[in-house]
Every structure is written in C-alpha cells, then in structure tokens.
Structure 1
Amino acid sequence: MSRLARKSILAASLSLMMLILAACSSNGASESPSSSPGASATSTPTTSASAAPAGPKKEISISAFDRGQVPTEEGSYESNRWTKFINENSPATVNWIPVDRGQAQQKLSTLIASGSAPDLIWEYDRNYIAQLANQGAIQPIDDYIEKYSTTLKKYLEENPELKSAMTINGKMYAVTSKRSIESIANHGMWIRQDWLDKLQLKAPATVEELIEVAKKFKDEDPDGNGEDDTVPIVFNGNAVQIIRAFFFTNENQWYLEDGQMKYARTLDRFTDSLAYQKSLFDQGLIDKEYITDSNFQRARQLWTTGKAGIYFASWSMDNEIRDLKANVPDAKLAPLEPVASKYGKNGLYQELPSNVLVAFNSEMDEDKIETAVKFLDWMLETGWHSMKFGEENVHYKLVEGDVPQRLDADKYRAEVAYANEYAILSQWDTKAEWIPVMAAQDALSQEIAQAKSQAIEVALKNEYRRDIPFSPDLPEVSQLIATFAPIATQIEVKVVTGGNALTPEAGMVQVRKEWKRLGGENVEKLAQEWYEKNKEFLK
C-alpha cells in the first residue's frame, strides 16, 4: 500500500471518533453453528490436513478485541495459556495484537496507516471492512481460499448464505462463519423482578410505562436502605441500539422509506429516539456519568452492587448476574421484552447470520497468506472448541451424548472465558434448552442458566427491523459517514445532555444540514442506484 494511501487512511481514522453511544456488536465472543453441539469436542485438536506441521512454523499476527477480561494471573491478551495452546497446536505461530474494544476501528485504522497493522484484521462491522477494501488496506482472497484451504473452502460452499457478507465490489475481501443463536440475539434487557414485586409494579410494555417504572425505581427506595441512591437504568455499549430500536431505527443502518434509501440519522423517527433518550437523561433515569463511562465499568458496578433496576445490555450476563447475587443474594431478575412506541413493537437488535469478518492485510505476501489460510482451517475445524469450552474433564465434561457441561463456573470464568476472543471462526451451534444442561450444576449456576434460557427466547421473540442486510459498500458512502458520524454524535450528545441548549428538533435540523453540506443528497442518490442494482443480492 502506498504512503499516500496510508495517509488517507490515517486522516480518515483521526476524523472517525468512536461513538461513545454506539453499540458494540457483541458483548460476548464470536460463536457460530455446526451440525452437532460437541463437534471436535476434545481438548487437543485431532490430526487433519490443517494440523500443526513438523518443523519451524511461520509467524502471523492477528487483531483481538481487548475487553479487559484476562485475569492478571492468566497473563495478558498477548500471552496466556490459550495463546500458548494455539501456538503449540495450530499450523502457525500467532502474535495477537489487542485493540481496545471501545476504540477498535480507530486503533486499527491508525495501525494500518502506520504500516504496523496485523496480518489478519477482523471486525463485526461490514461497513468498516468495506471501507478498508475501498482504501486498499485489505486484499481480495478468493484465489487464496481456493488454492490453500480445505476446511474453510468446504464450509463456505456448504453455507452460501455467507457469500454476500464476505463480498465487496464483486470480490471476497473477508471470510466468516455462521453465528449461533446466542450471538444473533445480541442484545437484551434485564429488570429487577424483586423491585417490581416490592413496589407492586408490572413489567413495562411501552416506552411510556418504562419511564413510569424507572421513576418509581428512582423515587421509592426499592433497595430499602432509606437513601436516595438508586439509578433506574444503566447500560453497556448496546444501550443506544436498544433505545433506537424502540423507534424502529438504528443510527448506522439504511432504511427503505417508500422505496427510497434513507440514512437512519436523518429520519423523523431518529428525532423521536433522541427525544426519548434526552427525557431519560433530564429526569435522572439514566446515570448522568455515562458519557465518560466509556468502558461501562461504572454501569457494571451500579448493577452488581444492587443500585440499578434495569440493565440495557446483553441477554447473556453470567458475570454480572453472578456478581449481583454475591452482593445481593435475594435479587431476582427477569428478562424484559422490548417496549412498544407509537411505531409499534420492534425486536431487540439482532445480528445478521454472518459472524466476525476476517480480512487479510494488503501487505501480506503469498507465503504468509498460505500460513494464515491454513491457520483459519485449523481454527474452524478444531481450534474453536477449546477456545470456547476449555479442556475436557478440567473445564467441561460431555453429557447427553455430546453437550459440553461446565464443571466449575468460577474456574471457567477465570481460565477460559477470555479465550473466546481468539475463536475468530467457529462451528458452534446451540439451542436455548441446552443452556441449563451446559451450565455448572450448582444452584447459582442453574439459576443463572434458567434466566439466560428465558432471556434468549425473549430476545428472539420479536422480529428486528432491518430493511437491507448491508449498507452500500461504496467508497463515497463510507467516506461521507466516516466524516459525518463524529459531527452528528457531537450534536446528539449536546441534545441529550445539554438541557435547554438544543432541542431534539433543533438538533436534527443541524444534523440534516451537516448531512447535506457533506454531500448527503448525492450519496443518497448513489445508495439508491446501488440498491436498485443489487436488489436480488440483498434478499
């Protein structure tokens, strides 16, 4: 890649502030289905075409999201028992390059611009991968998969629905695997059922009822300590997408409005979502320090210490529930269904079938590419299982034929949970009813598992509105949005937190003005042409 291209990427990355209010694609690790739950369910990978070769191994580097989950005694994201396991058993020696989850795209773009990016770069966000493809930072890999792959090539042939996710400008720029239902059902809402019972309240079913319940949680001392110290609603990175979904919008999606492609941030419905978020903030129903709580540790602390009544997060929160129960043993939780707005009842945010997209740095030579492809074959064939479940008879045992059942929740949490980050391709598939079977059998683990089983069913119960699966992968679109997003975010933050300084309606006037100034009308025209051209592809 040329120095000029690197500079253009650096310029784009510096202008692309990570949205504090934007959601993470996933609170958990990447997981994806296979035909049986115990596929490759051994702690050591079986011998195969992609098994580790004799003699010295070639090195490759791979990005990894740093979620702050590696215990000190385990090491770091760069070096721990699982990175050593990978290097001992896979066909490559892998150097893992951690990037902070909250600033992943900004960090990766900076690394690319400086020529120090990892060989394999992965993200959940297809828009970002398309942006890198259009900038020349990653390369097409169709021929390399055909030439060097066995397991992955066969898997992709058997799962043709993944092709559209991997294809940009007619070429394969990334590889992926299928999501399991637990990562399709990405988001979830939890409520303190014991607080509802104490205050004789019903679970809210509308956006208005949610505000009324939150007010009661704020004002009527639901924790019973006689102090005004409860925060009704806290959240992790998924919160804004959850709120936007109440109003059938998501700031990063395109929608078909009367057959015309429109960007969510310019819609009237988006104004309503901002007004609702502002109302929650102005009434003290959400933690007012959330703007600076970029890693959501304060929100987590409020929840786990029993000071919060509603958590906008994920359907799966083992650690958060376990820690809450340790501090407040009598706490009772219930998964909360999406609440309806004047637009109706939308589903909670749900991901597409494709999991993370793994792209190849454009500066990789063919020798490294061959090594990387064989590594991905190994990960998809056997490696993922150990990353997800740990070592058989140490962290899990097989029950009911081939379902991996956790032996000790605390041991798993300390020694295995963080390793999910390395399973960038996977063949895991689950069912809601397996969750209690897979969990440790102690009373607390079973209580949490039963709650999770209910939560995933709630999360998948209502269809989530997604008019087209992918945003237009046009350079004009990605460049405009990269410039527009931080500007829009600044305006939106001022609307939500600025009191009377800027109303939602006035804020949207500014947002639309900036959209138009940056060429939004022309981009909408290009997006419409792209949609008309790709209608069949987008089904």
Structure 2
Amino acid sequence: MVKVFKKGVIGSMTVMLMLSGFLVACSSKDGGSSTATTSPSGSNTAAPSKEPEKPAKIRVTLWDRANAPEGQNLGNNPIIKYVIDETKKVGLDVEFVSLPRAQESEKLNVWMASGEAPDIILTYSMDTIFKYAEQGGLWELDSYLAKYPDLIKNNKAALDQVGMYKGKRYAIPALKANTYSGPNMKIRKDWLDALGMKNPTTNEELYQVLKAFKEKDPGNVGKDKVIPWALPAINQSMKAFYYGPMFGFGVNMDGPSNQFYAPDGNYKNGVFTSAVATPEGKAYYQWMNKVYKEGLISKEFVTDVSSQQFTQQVNSGVAGFVDSNDTPWNMNVATRKSVPTATWVSVEPFKRPDGTQVMNKVSDFSMLVAVPKSSKNPDAVMKYLNWMVQPKNLATVQSGIEGVNWKDDGGVKVQIDPELNKKTTWVSSAGDLAIVQQGGPALNKEQLLKSVALSLPDAKQREEYANSFVTYYDIFKKFGKPNTIIDSPRPVAQKTVAAIEKSLYEGVSKVIISTDFEKIYAEMLSAWERAGGKDYDKEITDAYKAMKK
C-alpha cells in the first residue's frame, strides 16, 4: 500500500522515492507448516497447525521526486510490488509513505512532533539525528542491530563512521559502495569544439566560455534561447548546484556537511568559518551576481523551484554548462533525444588562487535510517534492512527484476531493455529504494563495456560510454575529498541548522539577482548571524579542537 502526503501542488519536483526493503528469509521451521513430533505417549503424531502470526506492520518513508514516468506510480511499480510481496513471506507488512523531497525537513518535523512519523525515517543530516536523539525521539538501535550479522557485515564501513550519539546508535547509515561520485561540473564539448575552445580550467576561463556560448550560439539554438549555465532555484530540492565554481574561488568543504548544496566553509588557523562569511565566499557571490547580470544563467532561475525548467533546458539542448550529481553519459542520453550530436564531458576542478584543485566526493556512508520512538516495531525495521542486504533483494531494489530488467554476466549487471527500465526502475535509479546501500563498486573499463553490451549494440557508443565513466571516476580519485565527520553532540547545530539553511536559501538567491550587491550581501550576512551562524561556526571550531584536527 502506498500513502501519499501532499502539501500544495508538488508539480514535477525531482522526487526521491526512497524504498525500504526488508526482511530475513524464514526457514521451514519458522513457517506455519505441520511437522511430526513425538506425543507424550511416544507415538508420532502430527502437531496441530499454529495460527500464523500477524505480520508486523511497518511504514517506510519514500522520497517523492516527482519523476514517475507516464503511467507509473508507487501503487503499480513492479519493484515496489516485489518488496511488498517478498517481505510478506517473512512476516512483514510494508506500507510506503511518500514524502516530497523538497518538504523533507518541514514534514519530518511535523511528523516527529505529532508522533505520526513512519517507522523508518530518512535524512542525510547527522545534526537531524542528533537533534531527535537528544529529544528522546528515536529508538536506540544497538541491541536490535546486534541480531542481524548480515546487515552489520554489509554496512560495516558506514557503521564504523556515523550513526552514534553519546555512545549509542540511533541511525543505520546506508553504505556508499562507490565513493567516486558526487557533485561535478560538465560542459558541452560539441559547443567548445565549434568555438575552437578547450575545457575551462579556472573561473575566469569559465566566464569567457559562458560569454562565448551566449554571444556566438555554437549550438545554433538561437541567441535568445541559449542558457550558458543552467541552474535551478536554490532550495532544498535543487537538482543542480555550484560546488565547482565556488571551490574555484577558494571556498572549501572543511565543515561536517549540511543540506545547503554548496561548499560549506574554510578551516584556517584553528578556526572554522562558514562560506557566507569568508572573503572567498563573498568574492564568489559577487562573481555570480555579474554572471547573472550578463545573462549567462537563466533570468528566471529563482522561480524554478522544482528544477523543471532546468531539466527542460538540459534535455532540449539549449544549456552549455552544469554542476550536478548527474554523470556526463546520463546527460548525453537525455540531451541527444533532441540534439543527437550533443556531447557532455567532465570538467576537472578549477585551479584556485593558491594553485590547488579540489572537489567533494561522497563518504563511505550515505543516507541515515532512523526509527522514531512512536514506532512499535524497531526490531521489524532491522529485519527489513537485513532482508534488503541479501544479494538477490539488494540487486532487485537497486536495478530491477533479474531476467526482466537485467541479466548477470560474470558479476556485471547487463541491461536487457533500457526503454523498459526507464519506465519501471525510476524508483531505484536515484538510489532511494535501496536504503541500506547505494550503488555497487566502481566498474573498470572492461566491466563497463560488458554492462552495456545489450543496450548499446554499436561498438563506438560502448567505447564512448566506457571512456566517459573512466574519466568521471578518475577525476574523483585524483581530486575528491570526503567531508569531515563530527560524530559527537552538537546542540547548537541542532537548534540552528534549519534556520541557517533557510536564511541561506533565501539570501543567496537575492544576492545573485541584486542590483546593489553590497547592500543585499550585508543583509544576507546579518540574517545568517541572526539565525545563529556564528555560534554554529564556533561549535564546529570547538569540536575540531577536541578532535585535534
């Protein structure tokens, strides 16, 4: 059963529908079948059948990204049906509760305050886990997790890093099997080639490239239609970011990460300062203000709260540069439906004033699974997660039905029907369904070629595909840095992080489009301070001192 909670019109918000599969396969002795036993008199008789136990009901959060293909929804998707049907066999009754991705924090707060939260809640923020744990709103999971060695073994690298609060476990982190991924810059190589230009290596070179895209229209889409840099509204559900250009100005990801999609700040001389309050951050936003005024990003980006406009710009072939979680190849697939010659390629991190190059990459863990105290079934939740780490179940929630969506070729999943997969595996393509593990290990070139043997019959296309991913992985291997982990109580962040992020979502947009940069930037900085920004930074500084960072 799927229950959908809505607030207003969700539109086509990029929805992350996160499925939580679970359950441990039962042996025959655990089922309800009759077995031969010895009666008190010594004769063998059939023991009376036991009344089957009522399945344990659990409600599982699913992030709704509003990305369901036409004719598909949570109620008729075959992978969701697989999870519901298979978990029933082991005594679990799963109901998925849809949560619009853009309303995650707001809705989660309402759920927790009202005691109506699903049995499984999801977040990427340890500060959120700390807050609810401190308030007594989450189950301690140590004793429940101890019963499930398969889950412990599969997720050990993630469990060793996060999920603890004051010495007790309150969250099960999903394992990130391939850490060579994260926000990355991509550019239209076919446009660069038409202009005789190369990949930009600095922010100034990017600016010159964007101007050339705007003025010379290398894609022949019409000068009034060209979007040199595609960027959606800056909010919690934005589908593209500005990590790369901001890194290029010297802003770092020295903090413990947050839900604001940009480099978070610099740690220098024993002090942490959030990006918004650094000289490098101010210089970046002033540059963005110039880029906006010159029409190098969409004039209407602030209103694109669902990333619908951004998606259309990429898919229709009018965009030239993006910074997002997408891979170049996946963007090629999307854009080539409109422009067959479109070629997106990776861009290495920009050289900064000090000559360094850096980018963020994911850690060994991803989303955090927690169980609210309102749940009556914390053990059933662990059974669900343990069910999901079983190889067949994990493969299904990640990639679809074996023999229908993919086949195994020496340990490599080979797509059978890519068009069918687009319609049926959207619930798992973003990694939201498999809440115990996101993705598998990075493939080498030989494995990459094998993985698309059926979906890309043309040898030249397969070679392009493999080379695209090899380059993509190599950039992360060479330049990527994961976030610092502060796995200790942060009471200030628990109180202020939501207000700080809200102030930045609002303030940054105003700064970029402002006609008086200095005035609006000062107002943004003041709003950040009122929200608790300086206290937030001091808490991180003190935590790093304790960690001897």
| Percentage of identical aligned residues | 22
**Which residue in 1 is equivalent to 2:251?**
248
Cα displacement (A) at 1:328: 0.9
Identify unmatched segments of 5+ residues in structure 1: 1-13, 15-23, 32-43
**Which residue in 2 is equivalent to 1:132?**
132
Give the Cα–Cα distance (whole angstroms) in 1 for the partners of residues 62 and 278 of structure 2: 35
Cα displacement (A) at 1:340: 2.3
Matched-pair contact (CA < 8 Å) for 1:62–1:94: yes
Cα displacement (A) at 1:341: 3.1
Residues 45/110 of structure 1: CA separation in 2 closer, same or farther (3 Å cut): closer
Residues 52/114 of structure 1: CA separation in 2 closer, same or farther (3 Å cut): farther
Asked if 1:77 corresponds to 2:65, the answer is no
Secondary structure of the equivalent of 2:96?
Answer: strand
Asked if 1:486 corresponds to 2:502, the answer is yes
Residues 274-319 of structure 1: per-residue CA shift (max 9 Å, x gap) = 1222222111111122211122111111111111111222242665
Secondary structure of the equivalent of 1:356?
Answer: strand
Give the Cα–Cα distance (whole angstroms) in 1 for the partners of residues 132 and 75 of structure 2: 24
Asked if 1:430 corresponds to 2:442, the answer is yes
Give the Cα–Cα distance (whole angstroms) in 2 for the partners of residues 318 and 29 of structure 1: 24
**Which residue in 1 is equivalent to 2:383?**
374
Q: How does 1:273-292 map to 2 (within 5 A)?
A: 273-292=284-303
Q: How does 1:201-350 map to 2 (within 5 A)?
A: 201-225=197-221, 227-235=223-231, 237-246=239-248, 247-250=250-253, 252=258, 253=264, 255-316=266-327, 320-350=331-361
In structure 1, what residue type is equivalent to 2:440? W
Residues 131/49 of structure 1: CA separation in 2 closer, same or farther (3 Å cut): farther
**457-466 vs 513-522, which deviates more?**
513-522
Matched-pair contact (CA < 8 Å) for 2:500–2:532: no
Give the Cα–Cα distance (whole angstroms) in 1 for the partners of residues 216 and 203 of structure 2: 20
Q: How does 1:41-120 map to 2 (within 5 A)?
A: 47=25, 55=52, 56-74=54-72, 76-90=73-87, 91=90, 92-120=92-120
Give the Cα–Cα distance (whole angstroms) in 2 for the partners of residues 532 and 494 of structure 1: 35
Matched-pair contact (CA < 8 Å) for 1:130–1:168: yes
**Which residue in 2 is equivalent to 1:456?**
473
**285-294 vs 508-517, which deviates more?**
508-517
Cα displacement (A) at 1:50: 12
Rg larger in 1 or in 2? 2
**Which residue in 1 is equivalent to 2:163?**
166
Count the aligned residue pairs: 489
In structure 2, what residue type is equivalent to 1:198? A
Give the Cα–Cα distance (whole angstroms) in 2 for the partners of residues 274 and 515 of structure 1: 15
Identify unmatched segments of 5+ residues in structure 2: 1-6, 8-13, 33-51, 232-237, 259-263
**Which residue in 2 is equivalent to 1:392?**
402
**299-308 vs 88-97, which deviates more?**
88-97
Give the Cα–Cα distance (whole angstroms) in 1 for the partners of residues 528 and 124 of structure 2: 25
Residues 454-510 of structure 1: per-residue CA shift (max 9 Å, x gap) = 2232344313374x224864122221222233224333222111122x32xx54544
Residues 245-271 of structure 1: per-residue CA shift (max 9 Å, x gap) = 323335844642211233333222221
Residues 64/422 of structure 1: CA separation in 2 closer, same or farther (3 Å cut): same
In structure 1, what residue type is equivalent to 2:474? E
Give the Cα–Cα distance (whole angstroms) in 2 for the partners of residues 386 and 362 of structure 1: 30
Residues 374/216 of structure 1: CA separation in 2 closer, same or farther (3 Å cut): same
* Counterpart among 178, 196, 199 of residue 200 in structure 1: 196
Secondary structure of the equivalent of 2:97?
Answer: strand
Residues 53/451 of structure 1: CA separation in 2 closer, same or farther (3 Å cut): farther
Secondary structure of the equivalent of 2:187?
Answer: strand
Residues 277/210 of structure 1: CA separation in 2 closer, same or farther (3 Å cut): same
In structure 2, what residue type is equivalent to 1:243? P
Cα displacement (A) at 1:423: 0.7
Give the Cα–Cα distance (whole angstroms) in 2 for the partners of residues 266 and 531 of structure 1: 19
Asked if 1:149 corresponds to 2:148, the answer is yes
Cα displacement (A) at 1:149: 2.0
**206-215 vs 220-229, which deviates more?**
220-229
Secondary structure of the equivalent of 1:327?
Answer: coil
Residues 303-353 of structure 1: per-residue CA shift (max 9 Å, x gap) = 111111112222426654223112111222322222223244433331221
Secondary structure of the equivalent of 1:287?
Answer: coil
Cα displacement (A) at 1:218: 0.5
In structure 2, what residue type is equivalent to 1:216? A
Give the Cα–Cα distance (whole angstroms) in 2 for the partners of residues 51 and 406 of structure 1: 37
Q: Which has the higher contact order (CA 8 A, sep 6+)?
A: 1
Residues 98/286 of structure 1: CA separation in 2 closer, same or farther (3 Å cut): same
Secondary structure of the equivalent of 2:481?
Answer: coil
Give the Cα–Cα distance (whole angstroms) in 1 for the partners of residues 504 and 221 of structure 2: 41
After superposition, the CA RMSD in angstroms is 3.2
Residues 475/206 of structure 1: CA separation in 2 closer, same or farther (3 Å cut): same
Cα displacement (A) at 1:87: 1.6
Residues 86-106 of structure 1: per-residue CA shift (max 9 Å, x gap) = 121123221111212222222
Give the Cα–Cα distance (whole angstroms) in 1 for the partners of residues 450 and 296 of structure 2: 37
Cα displacement (A) at 1:373: 0.8
**Which residue in 1 is equivalent to 2:545?**
532
Secondary structure of the equivalent of 1:355?
Answer: strand
**Which residue in 2 is equivalent to 1:190?**
186
